[in-house]
Amino acid sequence: MKGFILSFRSEFYKTRKTAGFWSAVILPLLLCLLLFIGFYSHSDKLAGLPGIMLWIQFSGAILGVMGSLLLPMLIVFIAYSVNSVEHKADTWKTLFSLPISKLSVYSAKFFYALFLVLLCLALFVLFTIGFGNLLGVLKPQLKFSEYSMASTLTQLYFKLFLSSLGILSIQFLLSLLFRDFLKPMGIGFVATITGVILAANKWTYAYLFPYSHPMLALSILPHHGQAPASPGMPVITIDMFTKEILVSLIVAVTVFIAGYFIVLKKSVK
């Protein structure tokens, strides 16, 4: 456990100045800021909408891209950057000749990638809520204050996080095994497009394909407001553990364990 914590801290120390780390911070900030500017400049057109619709439009604009393309590609990039630090510096051999167990080194790296994805998604929630409320303050005619989206958004993004674990584990392993960017990137890109097509066409077995999961995870969105808890305050219910989430978790655990045995067997070049 000590080895794991030390390795995890070292992962942060090594990557804190790299694009991989900062992309997880800057991407949500930038997207939310752009959206904020968009809403701010079009506030007249949006003035009449009820609070809940404003929130759905505001957060949905990001979630739409996130689920289909952005999140899988971000994961491809994060998984690559966490591993490329070692590929570039030729440091796998040093990592694996330290007096730290291979499981600690391997799992610390994996969980660090996982942490970056979680960080990025948490910042999306934070910035969406923050900028939404800021809009409500700066343009009082936008009735953001009418409705609180915080818990729904948190649940949605958490579901998105769970749905992304399958992709993360696969991309992580690919980036660990392949030195160059093109292979994991190419495979990730093609698989993501395939995933989007499968999910968009509502193929029956799309839930078995990890790269379809983020999009499937969000497909409850149109059914908002089914069960109003109180009049004028519709509630969006989110079914957290749908079958694609379960498949995603199973894939993540399986690939993670398989990856460990590959690392054990693999000769370090």
Partner 1 sequence: MVIDTAGLTFNFGNQTVVKSLSLQVPEGSIYGFLGPNGAGKTTTIKLLLNLLQVQQGSINIFGKELKSNRLEILSQIGSLIEQPAIYLHLTGKENLLNRALLLQISEKRVDDMLNLVHLTDAAHKKAGQYSLGMKQRLGIALALLSDPKLLILDEPTNGLDPNGIIEIRELLIKLVKEHQKTVFISSHLLAEIERMATHVGIINHGELLFQGSIKELESMNKPLVQIETDNIADAANYLSRNNVTVSDVTEQHIYVPYTSKQQMGEINALLNQMGYVVYSINKQQQDLEKLFLAITQTA
> Residue 233 gets which letter from DSSP?
B
CB of 104 to partner 1, least distance (A): 10
CB of 85 to partner 1, least distance (A): 7
Q: For residue 162, give the 3-state DSSP assignment.
A: helix
Nearer to partner 1, 41 or 97 (CB): 97
Contact residues for partner 1, defined by CB under 8 A:
6-7, 9-10, 13-14, 17-18, 85, 88-91, 93-94, 96-101, 265, 267-268
Nearer to partner 1, 100 or 262 (CB): 100
CB of 268 to partner 1, least distance (A): 4
* Residues contacting 103, CB < 8 A, separation 6+: 260
Nearer to partner 1, 9 or 42 (CB): 9
Q: Are 157 and 238 in contact (CB under 8 A)?
A: no
Chain CA centroid to CA 12, Å: 18
Q: For residue 61, give the 3-state DSSP assignment.
A: helix
> Residue 140 gets which letter from DSSP?
T
CB of 107 to partner 1, least distance (A): 15
CB of 102 to partner 1, least distance (A): 9
Q: Are 249 and 208 in contact (CB under 8 A)?
A: no
Neighbour tally for 175: CB within 10 Å: 27
**φ, ψ (nearest 5 deg) of residue 230:** -140, 155
Nearer to partner 1, 99 or 231 (CB): 99
Nearer to partner 1, 1 or 229 (CB): 1
CB of 154 to partner 1, least distance (A): 33
* Residues contacting 209, CB < 8 A, separation 6+: 194, 195, 198
* Residues contacting 142, CB < 8 A, separation 6+: 39, 43, 46, 47, 49, 54, 135, 136
Nearer to partner 1, 223 or 265 (CB): 265
